[in-house]
Structure 1
């Protein structure tokens, strides 16, 4: 909780929305802007109700997962991926590639955010799919020069 509150303060200071992964109670407690759920994170309709006024995101990796959520009200965006192989999530689905991302992005009625294995070298191909944004972990956490990586990321205006 202490770390989450510090992160909340940092994101507020820099006017960056904070989305908490799969923890509705924590998201409410620290006044995060939203909460994100994967396919294995419980009943999505119940989670949306518990989220209340928080923005809600849901991960999809394929057509059947998209079809499972396409008529659910209360979803604000979808996370699509993993686009590429990722070391950040041990139980990640198989990578869908740029074509899979492009397909699900074109199908989506919600804003879409790409995730999974995204780096400075493949980011332009990800953004060329029409996706609304990208989420990264390793691109920053594994960077040899985090400051330069963050400056690059901010220059994209995502």
Structure 2
């Protein structure tokens, strides 16, 4: 329970083997954490289960050593097998309420939401945080829902008190605009994973998130 309450959602980096320029997941994530990533999601859509467990196990060792939460995308079995900190599920994956029963009360449960109705249902079903989006169109997830834009993000933020991580087409050119709508952090794939210098890309995004949060806090005082 303590971990679930203490997560810093500022910069949530999602793996993508197809965008990593031949670099391993562990090399990408190690550099991302060096640059300031605060949460890591292992996402692998095409590998055999045995390979996924092996890759996630290496990431588990890295993230445990660096104190960064590891979330596994979709595959609750893989998350449990490597003792990941949590699992993230989409609207077509295992129902959130069932997933919560399977992972127990202490693991992190993230749910993707692109509408207010989905967000409210996820809250009811026991989610710990929401991945809200796609904010903008993104080539990294061709089957994603239509972009909800900044207004869609702001609407969900107004009605949900759970931590929200905005995702979908977010990069250094629009991160500040996204953060102004009130999420707790941003989730990125290509903006970090595909960067020539991963650590620098992560550092720049983390600085933008921090600056946006400082502006928000100053405005509320």
TM-score (norm 1): 0.91
Matched with 1:40 is 92
2:71 to 19, 31, 39: 19
Contact preservation (8 Å) 2:96, 2:127: no
Instruction: Decide which structure has greater helix share.
Output: 2
**Relative contact order, CA 8 A, sep 6+: which one is greater?**
2
**CA separation in 1, counterparts of 2:123 and 2:128?**
12
Gaps of 5+ in 2: 1-52, 214-221
Matched with 1:141 is 193
**CA separation in 2, counterparts of 1:146 and 1:58?**
26
2:111 partner SS? strand
Gaps of 5+ in 1: none
Deviating beyond 6 angstroms after TM superposition, the runs of 4 or more aligned structure 1 residues are none
- 1:109 has 2:109 as partner: no
Superposition map of 1:1-150 within 5 A: 1-52=53-104, 53-72=106-125, 74-150=126-202
The structural deviation recorded for 1:142 is 2.2
The structural deviation recorded for 1:144 is 3.0
**CA separation in 2, counterparts of 1:85 and 1:47?**
28
- Which stretch of structure 1 is more off in the superposition, 2-11 or 76-85? 2-11
Aligned residues: 157
TM-score (norm 2): 0.66
